[in-house]
A = this chain, B = another copy of it.
Amino acid sequence: MIAHLAGVSQPTVSRALRGSPMVNETTRLRILKIARELNYQVDKNASSLRSKSSGTLALLFFEDPAPDDSLINPFFVSMLASITRACAQRGYDLLISFQQPANEDWQAGFEDSNKADGIILLGYGDYLDYRARLEFLIARGMHFVCWGAVRPDQPEVSVSCDNYRGGYAITRHLLERGARRIAFLGDASNHCPEFLERHRGYSEAIKASRLRVNARLQIDAISSEQSGFDATTVLLERKLQFDAICAASDLIAIGAMKALQAHGLRVPADVLVSGFDDIPLAGFVNPSLTTVQQDTKAAGAILVETLLKLIRNEPVESQIIPVSLMLRGSTQRA
């Protein structure tokens, strides 16, 4: 540390730069002034090595390694923006990494060998598939928080939007608009707890209207336009009667609308369509998409805050964030 030129010892400089209260005000100012003149920056590697804390969080995305340059799920982009902002506000840096589910040495990417103090996990993947890995992380005492469903039996700390209530509210809205046979597009199994919760809301809303849930109207789909398109095609080919589609995500809904239109069906005149997420695209498709808005801004802040508590060994709990309905053209009959 060159700032010995201030006539003090190394530890004093270190303390002054970190704003320790045990440094004389005059001394501190003198040190700060010299540091600024010299454009001095603390070496974070040395500092992290010694203090066992890096001031960095890692964000890990899991998504199917969509062929080539295909777009990132727009919903994740909103989350990324919100998380970045939350980190910056708290003085943390953010390391990001996209993981391919196929990747064997998942944990290696995670561990990050002290490069990060904690990890935020984000992604739609097969939950059962990585549950074992989460348990591995827990066993190693890693600090991490997941975005996804909050379920009673899960070992990990998680933050999620209110998938159940969102599914319930949007289905209720479709029913109020006159739908009687609502198809649900999205995997509704333990492989994808988020969709499962949305589906549970969907089912309960239908039952609350004294209608029957027709299991044949549920078609698996992952969150992509293509998958939504395919699922809708299956629905049409099976010649099942339906007057509305409740899609488990906006991308699925957008693919569904394309498939419907390709088959000469009009939205919303012939079929009502709803999504989930409220990605920026939702307002631009034609017709604009009625959907459930997830509060990504709050989500990012809560994820970061929760992770920081975990790092400080403070007690934390999984949290559920309220959602709101965005009513648009796809469920609005003239």
Residue contacts A-B, CB under 8 angstroms, 20 given: A39-B140, A41-B108, A41-B111, A41-B114, A43-B113, A45-B49, A45-B114, A49-B49, A56-B115, A69-B81, A69-B296, A69-B297, A71-B78, A71-B81, A72-B81, A77-B77, A88-B97, A88-B98, A94-B97, A281-B281
A296: B residues at CB distance < 8 A: 69
**Closest Cβ neighbor of A107 among chain B residues:** B39
**Chain B proximity of A77: nearest CB distance (Å):** 5
A95: B residues at CB distance < 8 A: 56, 93-96
Q: Is A44 an interface residue (CB 8 A)?
A: yes
Q: Is A82 an interface residue (CB 8 A)?
A: yes
A44: B residues at CB distance < 8 A: 112-115
**Chain B proximity of A120: nearest CB distance (Å):** 13
Residue of A85, A94, A112, A114 with most partner-chain B CB within 10 A: A114
Give the complex CA separation of A42 and B108 in angstroms: 10
Q: Is A286 an interface residue (CB 8 A)?
A: yes
Q: Which of A262-317 contact B (CB under 8 A)?
A: 280-281, 284-286, 296-297
Q: Is A46 an interface residue (CB 8 A)?
A: yes
Q: Which of A138-172 contact B (CB under 8 A)?
A: 140
- Answer whether A71 and B113 are a contact pair too, CB < 8 Å, given A95-B95, A108-B41: no
Q: How many residues of A contact B (CB 8 A)?
A: 44
**Closest Cβ neighbor of A48 among chain B residues:** B45
**Chain B proximity of A109: nearest CB distance (Å):** 9
Q: Is A223 an interface residue (CB 8 A)?
A: no
Residue from B46, B54, B98, B280 within 8 A of A84 (CB atoms)? B98
Give the complex CA separation of A45 and B107 in angstroms: 18
**Chain B proximity of A326: nearest CB distance (Å):** 14
Residue from B54, B72, B107, B286 within 8 A of A77 (CB atoms)? B72
A112: B residues at CB distance < 8 A: 44, 93
Residue from B46, B88, B114, B281 within 8 A of A43 (CB atoms)? B114
A285: B residues at CB distance < 8 A: 284
- A84–B113 CB distance below 8 A: no
Q: Which of A38-70 contact B (CB under 8 A)?
A: 39, 41-46, 48-49, 54, 56, 68-69
- A84–B97 CB distance below 8 A: yes
Give the complex CA separation of A93 and B72 in angstroms: 19
Give the complex CA separation of A181 and B98 in angstroms: 46
Q: Which of A223-253 contact B (CB under 8 A)?
A: none
A72: B residues at CB distance < 8 A: 77, 81
- A41–B97 CB distance below 8 A: no
**Chain B proximity of A49: nearest CB distance (Å):** 4
